[in-house]
Chains A and B, each alone.
Chain A
Amino acid sequence: MAVTGAVLVLFLIGHMLGNLKIFLGAESFNSYAEWLRTVGEPAVPGRALLTITEIGLVAAVVLHMWSAVSLARRARRARPVKYAARRRSQAGGYVVHTMRYGGVVILLFVIWHLLDLTFGTVNPKGFHATPYDRVVAGFDPSRWWVTAFYIAALVMVGLHLRHGMWSAFQTLGLANGRRRHLLRGFAAGFAAVLVLGFLSVPIAVMIGVVK
Protein backbone atom coordinates (compact mmCIF):
# COMPACT_ATOMS: atom_id res chain seq x y z
CA MET A 1 0.00 0.00 0.00
CA ALA A 2 2.71 2.43 1.06
CA VAL A 3 4.94 1.96 -1.97
CA THR A 4 2.22 1.96 -4.64
CA GLY A 5 0.53 4.85 -2.86
CA ALA A 6 3.76 6.82 -2.98
CA VAL A 7 3.97 6.31 -6.77
CA LEU A 8 0.42 7.63 -7.13
CA VAL A 9 1.16 10.63 -4.92
CA LEU A 10 4.16 11.51 -7.10
CA PHE A 11 1.90 11.32 -10.14
CA LEU A 12 -0.68 13.56 -8.47
CA ILE A 13 1.95 16.21 -7.72
CA GLY A 14 3.07 16.28 -11.35
CA HIS A 15 -0.48 16.20 -12.64
CA MET A 16 -1.62 19.03 -10.38
CA LEU A 17 1.31 21.26 -11.35
CA GLY A 18 0.73 20.45 -15.02
CA ASN A 19 -2.95 21.37 -14.74
CA LEU A 20 -2.06 24.79 -13.34
CA LYS A 21 -0.50 25.59 -16.72
CA ILE A 22 -4.04 26.23 -17.90
CA PHE A 23 -3.82 29.62 -16.16
CA LEU A 24 -0.96 30.52 -18.50
CA GLY A 25 -3.31 30.21 -21.46
CA ALA A 26 -4.38 27.71 -24.09
CA GLU A 27 -1.05 27.66 -25.87
CA SER A 28 0.98 26.89 -22.79
CA PHE A 29 -1.39 24.14 -21.67
CA ASN A 30 -1.62 22.51 -25.11
CA SER A 31 2.10 22.61 -25.72
CA TYR A 32 2.61 21.06 -22.28
CA ALA A 33 0.27 18.21 -23.28
CA GLU A 34 2.22 17.93 -26.54
CA TRP A 35 5.50 17.94 -24.64
CA LEU A 36 4.25 15.02 -22.51
CA ARG A 37 3.90 13.02 -25.69
CA THR A 38 7.16 14.01 -27.34
CA VAL A 39 9.54 14.33 -24.38
CA GLY A 40 12.80 12.50 -24.94
CA GLU A 41 12.56 12.56 -28.72
CA PRO A 42 14.47 11.75 -30.79
CA ALA A 43 16.53 9.73 -28.29
CA VAL A 44 13.46 7.58 -27.68
CA PRO A 45 10.50 7.09 -30.03
CA GLY A 46 7.55 9.47 -29.64
CA ARG A 47 5.24 8.79 -26.68
CA ALA A 48 7.66 6.21 -25.30
CA LEU A 49 8.19 7.92 -21.95
CA LEU A 50 4.49 8.72 -21.60
CA THR A 51 3.53 5.12 -22.36
CA ILE A 52 6.05 3.83 -19.83
CA THR A 53 4.65 6.19 -17.22
CA GLU A 54 1.12 5.09 -18.03
CA ILE A 55 2.04 1.43 -17.69
CA GLY A 56 3.73 2.20 -14.37
CA LEU A 57 0.65 4.04 -13.13
CA VAL A 58 -1.73 1.27 -14.14
CA ALA A 59 0.54 -1.23 -12.36
CA ALA A 60 0.61 0.95 -9.24
CA VAL A 61 -3.20 1.32 -9.26
CA VAL A 62 -3.72 -2.42 -9.71
CA LEU A 63 -1.25 -3.35 -6.96
CA HIS A 64 -2.69 -0.69 -4.67
CA MET A 65 -6.16 -2.16 -5.17
CA TRP A 66 -4.89 -5.69 -4.75
CA SER A 67 -3.31 -4.77 -1.39
CA ALA A 68 -6.50 -3.03 -0.28
CA VAL A 69 -8.67 -5.98 -1.23
CA SER A 70 -6.45 -8.50 0.53
CA LEU A 71 -6.34 -6.36 3.68
CA ALA A 72 -10.13 -6.09 3.64
CA ARG A 73 -10.49 -9.84 3.16
CA ARG A 74 -8.08 -10.56 6.02
CA ALA A 75 -10.04 -8.17 8.20
CA ARG A 76 -13.29 -9.94 7.37
CA ARG A 77 -11.82 -13.34 8.15
CA ALA A 78 -10.34 -12.04 11.42
CA ARG A 79 -13.79 -11.01 12.70
CA PRO A 80 -16.39 -13.54 11.56
CA VAL A 81 -18.90 -12.52 14.28
CA LYS A 82 -19.71 -8.81 14.30
CA TYR A 83 -20.41 -6.69 17.37
CA ALA A 84 -24.07 -6.11 18.23
CA ALA A 85 -23.48 -2.64 19.66
CA ARG A 86 -22.63 0.05 17.15
CA ARG A 87 -18.95 0.81 17.57
CA ARG A 88 -18.04 4.43 17.86
CA SER A 89 -14.55 5.35 16.76
CA GLN A 90 -12.42 5.91 19.84
CA ALA A 91 -9.48 7.21 17.86
CA GLY A 92 -11.49 10.26 16.79
CA GLY A 93 -10.42 10.02 13.19
CA TYR A 94 -13.30 9.64 10.76
CA VAL A 95 -10.95 9.79 7.78
CA VAL A 96 -9.38 6.37 8.26
CA HIS A 97 -12.84 4.82 8.10
CA THR A 98 -13.40 6.27 4.62
CA MET A 99 -10.34 4.67 3.03
CA ARG A 100 -12.02 1.61 1.55
CA TYR A 101 -15.17 3.09 0.06
CA GLY A 102 -13.30 6.35 -0.62
CA GLY A 103 -10.87 4.37 -2.75
CA VAL A 104 -13.76 2.95 -4.76
CA VAL A 105 -15.20 6.46 -5.29
CA ILE A 106 -11.79 7.66 -6.50
CA LEU A 107 -11.51 4.70 -8.88
CA LEU A 108 -14.93 5.47 -10.39
CA PHE A 109 -13.85 9.08 -10.69
CA VAL A 110 -10.61 8.16 -12.47
CA ILE A 111 -12.55 6.02 -14.96
CA TRP A 112 -14.97 8.87 -15.70
CA HIS A 113 -12.08 11.31 -15.83
CA LEU A 114 -10.18 9.24 -18.40
CA LEU A 115 -13.32 8.88 -20.55
CA ASP A 116 -13.83 12.63 -20.21
CA LEU A 117 -10.47 14.29 -20.70
CA THR A 118 -8.16 11.61 -22.07
CA PHE A 119 -10.35 9.66 -24.50
CA GLY A 120 -12.99 12.35 -24.91
CA THR A 121 -15.77 9.73 -24.99
CA VAL A 122 -18.02 11.65 -22.60
CA ASN A 123 -16.56 15.06 -23.41
CA PRO A 124 -18.65 17.48 -25.53
CA LYS A 125 -15.65 18.24 -27.76
CA GLY A 126 -14.49 14.65 -28.16
CA PHE A 127 -11.06 13.14 -28.68
CA HIS A 128 -9.84 15.34 -31.48
CA ALA A 129 -10.18 18.69 -29.74
CA THR A 130 -7.15 20.18 -28.01
CA PRO A 131 -6.74 19.33 -24.31
CA TYR A 132 -7.50 22.97 -23.46
CA ASP A 133 -10.81 22.94 -25.34
CA ARG A 134 -11.73 19.64 -23.73
CA VAL A 135 -11.20 21.06 -20.25
CA VAL A 136 -13.13 24.26 -20.99
CA ALA A 137 -16.02 22.35 -22.58
CA GLY A 138 -15.97 19.64 -19.91
CA PHE A 139 -16.43 22.08 -17.04
CA ASP A 140 -18.85 24.39 -18.85
CA PRO A 141 -21.39 25.90 -16.39
CA SER A 142 -24.16 23.97 -18.16
CA ARG A 143 -22.38 20.78 -17.07
CA TRP A 144 -22.31 21.85 -13.44
CA TRP A 145 -23.00 18.28 -12.31
CA VAL A 146 -19.67 17.18 -13.83
CA THR A 147 -17.90 19.90 -11.88
CA ALA A 148 -19.81 18.96 -8.72
CA PHE A 149 -18.73 15.34 -9.15
CA TYR A 150 -15.12 16.43 -9.65
CA ILE A 151 -15.24 18.51 -6.49
CA ALA A 152 -16.75 15.68 -4.43
CA ALA A 153 -14.24 13.17 -5.80
CA LEU A 154 -11.30 15.51 -5.18
CA VAL A 155 -12.34 16.07 -1.59
CA MET A 156 -12.34 12.27 -1.30
CA VAL A 157 -8.82 12.22 -2.79
CA GLY A 158 -7.78 14.76 -0.16
CA LEU A 159 -9.16 12.67 2.70
CA HIS A 160 -7.56 9.57 1.22
CA LEU A 161 -4.17 11.25 1.14
CA ARG A 162 -4.55 12.76 4.56
CA HIS A 163 -4.63 9.33 6.16
CA GLY A 164 -2.76 7.52 3.39
CA MET A 165 0.39 9.61 3.47
CA TRP A 166 1.11 9.50 7.18
CA SER A 167 0.03 5.85 7.23
CA ALA A 168 2.68 5.13 4.60
CA PHE A 169 5.33 6.81 6.74
CA GLN A 170 4.15 4.73 9.69
CA THR A 171 4.24 1.49 7.72
CA LEU A 172 7.80 2.23 6.65
CA GLY A 173 8.76 2.78 10.29
CA LEU A 174 9.44 6.50 9.99
CA ALA A 175 6.69 8.05 12.12
CA ASN A 176 7.70 7.70 15.74
CA GLY A 177 7.34 10.11 18.63
CA ARG A 178 7.23 13.79 17.79
CA ARG A 179 7.78 13.00 14.15
CA ARG A 180 4.34 11.39 13.96
CA HIS A 181 2.64 14.69 14.75
CA LEU A 182 4.81 16.51 12.23
CA LEU A 183 4.12 13.92 9.55
CA ARG A 184 0.39 13.96 10.29
CA GLY A 185 0.36 17.73 9.96
CA PHE A 186 2.41 17.51 6.80
CA ALA A 187 0.03 14.94 5.29
CA ALA A 188 -3.00 17.12 6.09
CA GLY A 189 -1.39 20.28 4.72
CA PHE A 190 -0.06 18.54 1.64
CA ALA A 191 -3.45 16.95 0.89
CA ALA A 192 -5.15 20.35 1.25
CA VAL A 193 -2.71 22.07 -1.14
CA LEU A 194 -3.04 19.29 -3.67
CA VAL A 195 -6.84 19.33 -3.62
CA LEU A 196 -7.00 23.14 -3.85
CA GLY A 197 -4.56 23.05 -6.76
CA PHE A 198 -6.69 20.49 -8.59
CA LEU A 199 -9.95 22.26 -7.74
CA SER A 200 -8.78 25.62 -9.00
CA VAL A 201 -9.05 24.46 -12.63
CA PRO A 202 -12.69 23.26 -12.83
CA ILE A 203 -13.82 26.13 -10.61
CA ALA A 204 -11.96 28.70 -12.74
CA VAL A 205 -13.64 27.30 -15.85
CA MET A 206 -17.05 27.28 -14.22
CA ILE A 207 -16.89 30.88 -13.09
CA GLY A 208 -15.46 31.96 -16.43
CA VAL A 209 -11.93 32.92 -15.43
CA VAL A 210 -10.63 30.33 -17.89
CA LYS A 211 -12.56 30.18 -21.16
Chain B
Amino acid sequence: MNLTLKVWRQNGPADSGRMVTYQVTDVSPDMSFLEMLDVLNERLILEGDDPVAFDHDCREGICGMCGMVINGVAHGEQRATTTCQLHMRHFEDGATITIEPWRAAPFPVVKDLVVDRSSFDRIIQAGGFISVPAGSAPDAHSVPVKKEDADDAFDAATCIGCGACVAACPNGSASLFTAAKITHLGLLPQGQPERDSRAVAMVEQMDLEGFGGCTNTGECTAVCPKGISLDVITQMNRDYLKAAK
Protein backbone atom coordinates (compact mmCIF):
# COMPACT_ATOMS: atom_id res chain seq x y z
CA MET B 1 0.00 0.00 0.00
CA ASN B 2 1.06 3.57 -0.67
CA LEU B 3 -0.26 6.34 1.54
CA THR B 4 -0.16 10.08 1.92
CA LEU B 5 0.08 11.16 5.56
CA LYS B 6 -0.69 14.61 6.86
CA VAL B 7 0.92 14.68 10.29
CA TRP B 8 0.93 17.35 12.98
CA ARG B 9 4.56 18.37 13.65
CA GLN B 10 5.38 20.51 16.66
CA ASN B 11 8.95 20.81 18.00
CA GLY B 12 7.94 21.46 21.59
CA PRO B 13 5.31 23.01 23.82
CA ALA B 14 6.30 26.53 22.74
CA ASP B 15 6.28 25.83 18.99
CA SER B 16 3.06 26.72 17.18
CA GLY B 17 3.13 23.56 15.03
CA ARG B 18 1.92 22.73 11.53
CA MET B 19 0.64 19.89 9.36
CA VAL B 20 3.37 18.24 7.25
CA THR B 21 2.70 15.89 4.32
CA TYR B 22 4.67 12.63 3.88
CA GLN B 23 4.45 9.80 1.35
CA VAL B 24 4.78 6.30 2.77
CA THR B 25 5.32 3.43 0.33
CA ASP B 26 5.29 -0.36 0.62
CA VAL B 27 3.01 -0.55 3.64
CA SER B 28 1.69 -4.04 4.34
CA PRO B 29 -2.05 -4.27 5.07
CA ASP B 30 -1.13 -6.51 8.02
CA MET B 31 0.86 -3.77 9.72
CA SER B 32 -0.61 -1.98 12.68
CA PHE B 33 -1.02 1.78 12.45
CA LEU B 34 2.01 2.26 14.71
CA GLU B 35 4.14 -0.08 12.58
CA MET B 36 3.20 2.03 9.58
CA LEU B 37 4.46 5.09 11.49
CA ASP B 38 7.63 3.12 12.37
CA VAL B 39 8.22 2.65 8.61
CA LEU B 40 7.91 6.39 8.12
CA ASN B 41 10.20 7.13 11.06
CA GLU B 42 12.92 4.71 9.94
CA ARG B 43 13.02 6.51 6.64
CA LEU B 44 13.07 9.93 8.28
CA ILE B 45 15.97 8.84 10.50
CA LEU B 46 17.94 7.50 7.52
CA GLU B 47 17.35 10.78 5.72
CA GLY B 48 18.64 12.65 8.77
CA ASP B 49 15.21 14.09 9.63
CA ASP B 50 13.52 14.25 12.99
CA PRO B 51 11.21 11.21 13.42
CA VAL B 52 7.54 11.82 14.27
CA ALA B 53 7.18 11.57 18.05
CA PHE B 54 4.23 9.47 19.23
CA ASP B 55 3.46 7.70 22.49
CA HIS B 56 3.16 3.94 22.73
CA ASP B 57 4.07 1.23 25.17
CA CYS B 58 2.26 -2.12 25.22
CA ARG B 59 1.14 -2.17 21.58
CA GLU B 60 -1.51 -4.64 22.65
CA GLY B 61 -4.34 -2.28 23.54
CA ILE B 62 -4.03 -2.22 27.31
CA CYS B 63 -1.78 0.67 28.34
CA GLY B 64 -3.61 3.63 26.82
CA MET B 65 -0.51 5.45 25.58
CA CYS B 66 -1.00 5.38 21.81
CA GLY B 67 -3.73 8.00 21.42
CA MET B 68 -3.93 10.01 18.22
CA VAL B 69 -6.73 11.45 16.15
CA ILE B 70 -6.87 9.70 12.78
CA ASN B 71 -8.95 11.36 10.05
CA GLY B 72 -10.75 13.33 12.72
CA VAL B 73 -11.62 10.33 14.90
CA ALA B 74 -9.86 9.41 18.14
CA HIS B 75 -8.02 6.08 17.62
CA GLY B 76 -9.44 5.98 14.06
CA GLU B 77 -12.83 4.93 12.82
CA GLN B 78 -12.54 1.26 13.79
CA ARG B 79 -14.77 0.87 16.86
CA ALA B 80 -13.46 -0.27 20.27
CA THR B 81 -9.87 -0.32 19.02
CA THR B 82 -6.73 1.48 20.17
CA THR B 83 -4.41 2.94 17.54
CA CYS B 84 -1.85 0.17 18.18
CA GLN B 85 -4.50 -2.46 17.44
CA LEU B 86 -5.77 -0.69 14.33
CA HIS B 87 -4.55 -2.40 11.17
CA MET B 88 -3.74 -0.88 7.82
CA ARG B 89 -6.15 -3.24 6.07
CA HIS B 90 -8.91 -0.89 7.21
CA PHE B 91 -7.50 1.81 4.93
CA GLU B 92 -7.55 1.98 1.15
CA ASP B 93 -4.44 1.92 -0.98
CA GLY B 94 -3.59 5.47 -2.01
CA ALA B 95 -5.56 7.01 0.85
CA THR B 96 -4.68 10.29 2.51
CA ILE B 97 -4.65 10.02 6.31
CA THR B 98 -4.66 12.98 8.68
CA ILE B 99 -2.98 12.39 12.05
CA GLU B 100 -3.29 14.86 14.92
CA PRO B 101 -2.65 14.81 18.67
CA TRP B 102 -5.48 14.89 21.25
CA ARG B 103 -6.71 18.48 21.33
CA ALA B 104 -7.53 19.73 24.81
CA ALA B 105 -6.11 22.51 26.96
CA PRO B 106 -5.53 20.07 29.87
CA PHE B 107 -3.56 17.81 27.45
CA PRO B 108 -0.75 20.15 26.28
CA VAL B 109 1.31 18.91 23.33
CA VAL B 110 4.81 17.82 24.36
CA LYS B 111 6.05 17.10 20.84
CA ASP B 112 4.30 16.17 17.59
CA LEU B 113 1.61 13.65 18.56
CA VAL B 114 2.66 13.27 22.20
CA VAL B 115 0.49 15.00 24.79
CA ASP B 116 0.91 15.34 28.55
CA ARG B 117 -1.96 13.59 30.33
CA SER B 118 -0.85 14.42 33.89
CA SER B 119 -4.23 16.09 34.39
CA PHE B 120 -5.71 12.56 34.47
CA ASP B 121 -3.18 11.56 37.14
CA ARG B 122 -4.23 14.52 39.27
CA ILE B 123 -7.90 13.52 38.96
CA ILE B 124 -6.94 10.05 40.21
CA GLN B 125 -4.87 11.56 43.03
CA ALA B 126 -7.88 13.61 44.11
CA GLY B 127 -9.88 10.50 45.01
CA GLY B 128 -9.33 7.53 42.72
CA PHE B 129 -8.09 5.23 45.47
CA ILE B 130 -9.30 3.26 48.48
CA SER B 131 -7.79 3.28 51.95
CA VAL B 132 -7.12 -0.26 53.16
CA PRO B 133 -4.80 -1.68 55.76
CA ALA B 134 -1.92 -3.14 53.75
CA GLY B 135 -0.87 -6.71 54.40
CA SER B 136 -1.22 -10.08 52.80
CA ALA B 137 -3.99 -10.52 50.24
CA PRO B 138 -7.37 -11.31 51.86
CA ASP B 139 -9.18 -14.57 51.08
CA ALA B 140 -11.05 -14.36 47.81
CA HIS B 141 -14.47 -14.83 49.42
CA SER B 142 -13.98 -12.82 52.60
CA VAL B 143 -15.88 -9.82 51.19
CA PRO B 144 -18.96 -10.88 49.21
CA VAL B 145 -19.73 -8.77 46.11
CA LYS B 146 -22.97 -9.01 44.17
CA LYS B 147 -22.43 -10.52 40.74
CA GLU B 148 -23.98 -7.54 38.87
CA ASP B 149 -21.89 -5.09 40.87
CA ALA B 150 -18.75 -7.09 40.22
CA ASP B 151 -19.53 -7.11 36.50
CA ASP B 152 -20.30 -3.39 36.31
CA ALA B 153 -17.27 -2.47 38.41
CA PHE B 154 -15.08 -4.62 36.20
CA ASP B 155 -16.48 -3.06 33.02
CA ALA B 156 -15.72 0.40 34.41
CA ALA B 157 -12.26 -0.74 35.51
CA THR B 158 -11.31 -1.61 31.93
CA CYS B 159 -10.76 2.11 31.26
CA ILE B 160 -7.11 2.46 30.25
CA GLY B 161 -6.96 6.23 30.74
CA CYS B 162 -6.09 6.88 27.11
CA GLY B 163 -7.98 10.18 26.88
CA ALA B 164 -9.85 9.44 23.64
CA CYS B 165 -13.08 10.44 25.36
CA VAL B 166 -11.71 13.95 25.94
CA ALA B 167 -10.29 14.16 22.42
CA ALA B 168 -13.64 13.24 20.87
CA CYS B 169 -15.88 15.32 23.11
CA PRO B 170 -17.07 18.54 21.44
CA ASN B 171 -16.91 20.09 24.91
CA GLY B 172 -13.48 18.68 25.80
CA SER B 173 -15.03 17.04 28.86
CA ALA B 174 -13.30 14.28 30.85
CA SER B 175 -16.54 12.94 32.26
CA LEU B 176 -16.30 9.42 30.82
CA PHE B 177 -12.82 8.83 32.25
CA THR B 178 -13.58 10.35 35.65
CA ALA B 179 -16.92 8.56 35.86
CA ALA B 180 -15.36 5.21 34.94
CA LYS B 181 -12.99 5.54 37.90
CA ILE B 182 -15.71 6.74 40.29
CA THR B 183 -17.99 3.87 39.23
CA HIS B 184 -15.29 1.24 39.38
CA LEU B 185 -14.45 2.04 43.02
CA GLY B 186 -17.90 3.16 44.13
CA LEU B 187 -19.61 -0.12 43.25
CA LEU B 188 -17.31 -2.29 45.35
CA PRO B 189 -17.50 -2.73 49.13
CA GLN B 190 -13.89 -1.60 49.49
CA GLY B 191 -14.79 1.72 47.88
CA GLN B 192 -17.68 2.62 50.19
CA PRO B 193 -15.92 4.55 52.98
CA GLU B 194 -14.74 7.28 50.59
CA ARG B 195 -17.60 7.04 48.10
CA ASP B 196 -19.08 10.49 48.69
CA SER B 197 -15.86 12.42 49.15
CA ARG B 198 -14.35 10.64 46.13
CA ALA B 199 -17.13 11.70 43.76
CA VAL B 200 -16.95 15.33 44.88
CA ALA B 201 -13.14 15.54 44.92
CA MET B 202 -12.65 13.92 41.52
CA VAL B 203 -15.34 16.01 39.82
CA GLU B 204 -13.90 19.18 41.35
CA GLN B 205 -10.39 18.28 40.20
CA MET B 206 -11.71 17.53 36.70
CA ASP B 207 -13.25 21.01 36.54
CA LEU B 208 -10.10 22.61 38.00
CA GLU B 209 -7.96 21.06 35.27
CA GLY B 210 -9.94 23.01 32.68
CA PHE B 211 -11.94 20.20 31.06
CA GLY B 212 -15.28 21.25 29.59
CA GLY B 213 -18.75 20.38 30.88
CA CYS B 214 -20.65 17.27 29.80
CA THR B 215 -23.72 17.82 27.60
CA ASN B 216 -24.40 14.11 27.05
CA THR B 217 -23.41 14.05 23.38
CA GLY B 218 -22.24 10.43 23.59
CA GLU B 219 -19.19 11.02 21.36
CA CYS B 220 -16.94 9.71 24.16
CA THR B 221 -18.43 6.25 24.47
CA ALA B 222 -18.53 5.93 20.66
CA VAL B 223 -14.74 6.26 20.39
CA CYS B 224 -13.73 4.63 23.68
CA PRO B 225 -11.45 1.68 22.86
CA LYS B 226 -12.87 -0.13 25.86
CA GLY B 227 -16.50 0.67 25.14
CA ILE B 228 -17.06 2.33 28.53
CA SER B 229 -20.80 3.05 28.66
CA LEU B 230 -22.58 6.31 29.45
CA ASP B 231 -23.96 4.43 32.46
CA VAL B 232 -20.81 5.39 34.35
CA ILE B 233 -21.65 9.07 33.86
CA THR B 234 -25.14 8.41 35.22
CA GLN B 235 -23.52 6.78 38.26
CA MET B 236 -21.11 9.69 38.71
CA ASN B 237 -23.98 12.21 38.55
CA ARG B 238 -25.92 10.17 41.08
CA ASP B 239 -23.02 9.87 43.50
CA TYR B 240 -22.15 13.52 43.08
CA LEU B 241 -25.72 14.75 43.63
CA LYS B 242 -26.12 12.48 46.65
CA ALA B 243 -22.83 13.66 48.16
CA ALA B 244 -23.53 17.32 47.45
CA LYS B 245 -26.92 17.16 49.21
Q: Which residues of A approach B to under 8 Å, CB–CB?
A: 1, 70-71, 74-75, 77-93, 96-97, 99, 163, 166-167, 170-177, 180
Which B residues touch A83, using CB under 8 A?
69, 72, 100, 103
Which A residues touch B104, using CB under 8 A?
78-79
Is B170 interfacial (CB-CB < 8 Å)?
A: yes
Which B residues touch A84, using CB under 8 A?
6, 8, 19, 98, 100
Instruction: Please judge, given known A-B contacts A83-B69, A170-B233, A172-B241, whether A93 and B211 are in contact too, CB under 8 Å.
Output: no
10 A-B pairs with the lowest CB-CB distances in the bound complex, closest first? A78-B172, A173-B238, A85-B72, A90-B222, A78-B212, A91-B218, A173-B237, A75-B171, A176-B234, A85-B98
Q: Which residues of B approach A to under 8 Å, CB–CB?
A: 6, 8, 17, 19, 69, 71-73, 77, 98, 100, 103-106, 168, 170-173, 210-219, 221-223, 230-231, 233-235, 237-241
- Which residue, A81, A99, A167, A174, has most C-beta atoms of chain B within 10 A? A81
- Mostly, the A contact residues are loop
The reply to whether B219 and A71 form a contact with Cβ atoms under 8 Å apart is: no
The reply to whether A97 and B217 form a contact with Cβ atoms under 8 Å apart is: yes
Which A residues touch B173, using CB under 8 A?
75, 78
Of A80, A87, A90, A99, which one neighbours B215 at CB under 8 angstroms? A99
The reply to whether B237 and A172 form a contact with Cβ atoms under 8 Å apart is: yes
Closest-by-CB residue of B relative to A1 is B215
Closest-by-CB residue of B relative to A86 is B72
The reply to whether B105 and A85 form a contact with Cβ atoms under 8 Å apart is: no
Enumerate 23 A-B pairs (CB-CB under 8 Å) in ascending A order.
A75-B213, A77-B212, A78-B172, A78-B210, A78-B211, A78-B212, A79-B103, A83-B103, A85-B69, A85-B100, A86-B72, A88-B72, A90-B73, A90-B219, A96-B215, A96-B218, A97-B217, A167-B215, A170-B234, A171-B216, A172-B237, A173-B235, A176-B235
